[in-house]
């Protein structure tokens, strides 16, 4: 081979090698294509149950199960109501963890002493454990039923250093209350515990963050670029002055190089300028993007507000998503799911819809024999909902229910 051709061949091989290296370094596409929003819907016992909605873009959501509960509170919580569901995917991608406030607001805002831990492999059937703090930590000073009045908005994060899941939550105690003008403000601090491998128990609470005045709704995100943890939180309660900063129930930010602190506060609000009050902030990445979404509940105005950021520090307003019809979320969280997981949830939701269509047919439309057939069809469908987590089973059962209903 001539020298000139050898040079050309070498250049071609070099170009291919460089091209292959660039391709290898290209960011791998996400296996997820859908956003799942877990939330509760209002302050009634029926509203204080876990609901789901899904989205293609992270901003606009459609409720599953026609806005009705996915997990009923009376089966999982001591108070028979829940609030503030926070959901994450396990590190191996095979399971989901959800933590919730064990609370019924109709019993009073200072009547909550615990939280709920849940684990699932299909987002539909959940192992659950209710943790009542006074009973779980009877020797912990100040955490007795008389003094403890709030264990709010738990969330979960993986602690890389400890190789454990850590949950963190706001604690309110009567002996911490402080005066604001002629009124008394409950003082909330953020604590943390570690969860056991079965996700059924927690370690003794330890202080994570004390804002100096009331702080709730902690949400921790790890900033890979700056190698730091960012704690988003709400300055809660009656407006006051904290280190010359005017608290107004807005979303704030604090940072630390260590998950368990100490955290350094940035004395500014992050939400859209002039938007007060807000609560229940949650930050999550957009799929196949370097951008993050900050969402929060504008509960006094009837919408969720969405902002976005590329640096987790400066957020720009995107839109207000109205809470109406079947989609009326209060404090919740978002996790990415696969197309297969979405199909399963939608098939489960459709089976519920098929059963509702059958129930709406007036009883006088049936003969006695047909009533027996109706009961058999419905019982088999309910069994599928209770025992199966497979898309094909939901689809098959829904088809049978609708085939029977079509006769009338």
- Same domain, yes or no: 246 and 119: yes
- Same domain, yes or no: 214 and 322: yes
Of the chain, the percentage scoring pLDDT greater than 90 comes to 91
Task: Specify the pLDDT at position 224.
Answer: 95
Q: Which CB contacts under 8 angstroms, 24+ apart, belong to 120-124?
A: 120/95, 120/96, 121/94, 121/95, 121/96, 121/389, 122/341, 122/344, 122/389, 123/36, 123/52, 123/96, 123/337, 123/341, 123/344, 123/345, 124/70, 124/344, 124/345, 124/348, 124/389
- Same domain, yes or no: 252 and 374: no
- Same domain, yes or no: 316 and 367: no
What does DSSP assign to residue 33? Answer: -
Q: Where does the pLDDT of residue 365 fall: very low under 50, low under 70, confident under 90, or very high at 90 and above?
A: confident
Are 40 and 51 in contact, with CB atoms under 8 Å apart? yes
Count: domains in the chain:
2
Domain-embedded: residue 15: no
Range of the domain at 401: 343-405
Task: Specify the pLDDT at position 28.
Answer: 76
Please report where in the chains the tokens 């004395």 appear, as a residue. 267
Give tens-digit pLDDT for 191-236: 999 999 999 999 999 999 999 999 999 999 999 999 999 999 999 9
Are 378 and 358 in contact, with CB atoms under 8 Å apart? yes
Give tens-digit pLDDT for 331-351: 999 999 999 999 999 999 999
Q: How far apart are CA 184 and CA 121, in angstroms?
A: 44
Give tens-digit pLDDT for 78-134: 999 999 999 999 999 999 999 999 999 999 998 999 999 999 999 999 999 999 999
Domain-embedded: residue 29: no
Domain-embedded: residue 25: no
Query: Which among 311, 337, 363 is the end of a domain?
Result: 337
Please report where in the chains the tokens 């079509």 appear, as a residue. 406
Give tens-digit pLDDT for 146-198: 999 999 999 999 999 999 999 999 999 999 999 999 999 999 999 999 999 99
Q: Which residues are within 8 A (CB) of 118 and not within 5 positions of it... i.e. 6 or more apart?
A: 71, 76, 97, 98, 99, 100, 126, 127, 128, 129, 199
Task: State pTM to two decimals.
Answer: 0.91
Judged by DSSP in three states, 251 sits in strand
Q: Where does the pLDDT of residue 29 fall: very low under 50, low under 70, confident under 90, or very high at 90 and above?
A: confident
Are 142 and 156 in contact, with CB atoms under 8 Å apart? no
Residue 3 has pLDDT above 60, yes or no: no
């Amino acid at each position: 081979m001539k020298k000139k051709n050898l040079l050309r061949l070498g250049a071609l091989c070099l170009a291919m090698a460089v091209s292959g290296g660039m391709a290898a370094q290209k960011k791998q596409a996400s296996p997820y294509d859908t956003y799942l929003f877990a939330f509760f819907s209002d302050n009634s016992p029926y509203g204080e149950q876990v609901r789901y909605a899904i989205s293609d873009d992270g901003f606009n959501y459609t409720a599953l199960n026609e806005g009705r509960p996915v997990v009923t509170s009376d089966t999982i919580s001591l108070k028979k109501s829940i609030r503030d569901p926070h959901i994450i995917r396990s590190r191996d991608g095979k399971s989901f963890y959800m933590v919730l406030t064990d609370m019924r607001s109709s019993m009073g805002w200072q009547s909550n002493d615990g939280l709920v831990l849940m684990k699932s492999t299909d987002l539909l059937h959940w192992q659950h454990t209710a943790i009542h703090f006074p009973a779980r930590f009877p020797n912990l000073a100040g955490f007795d039923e008389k003094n403890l009045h709030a264990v709010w908005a738990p969330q979960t994060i993986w602690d890389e250093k400890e190789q454990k899941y850590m949950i963190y939550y706001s604690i309110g105690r009567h002996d911490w209350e402080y005066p604001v003008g002629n009124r008394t403000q409950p003082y909330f601090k953020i604590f943390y515990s570690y969860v056991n491998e079965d996700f059924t128990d927690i370690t003794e609470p330890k202080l994570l963050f004390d804002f100096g005045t009331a702080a709730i709704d902690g949400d921790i995100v790890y900033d890979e670029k700056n190698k730091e943890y960012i704690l988003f939180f709400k300055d809660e309660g009656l407006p006051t002055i904290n280190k010359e900063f005017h608290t107004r129930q807005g979303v704030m930010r604090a940072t630390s190089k260590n998950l368990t602190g100490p955290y350094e506060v940035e004395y500014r609000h992050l939400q859209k300028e002039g938007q007060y009050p807000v609560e229940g902030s949650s930050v999550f990445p957009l799929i196949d993007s370097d951008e993050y979404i900050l969402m929060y509940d504008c509960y006094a105005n009837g919408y969720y507000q969405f902002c976005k950021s590329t640096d987790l520090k400066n957020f720009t307003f995107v839109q207000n998503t109205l809470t109406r019809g079947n989609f009326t979320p209060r404090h919740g969280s978002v996790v990415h799911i696969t197309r297969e997981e979405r199909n399963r949830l939608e098939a489960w939701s459709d089976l519920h819809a098929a059963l509702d269509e059958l129930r709406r047919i007036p009883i006088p439309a049936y003969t006695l024999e047909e009533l027996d057939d109706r009961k058999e069809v419905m019982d088999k469908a309910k069994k599928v909902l209770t025992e199966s987590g497979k898309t094909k089973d939901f689809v098959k059962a829904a088809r049978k229910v609708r085939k029977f209903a079509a006769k009338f």
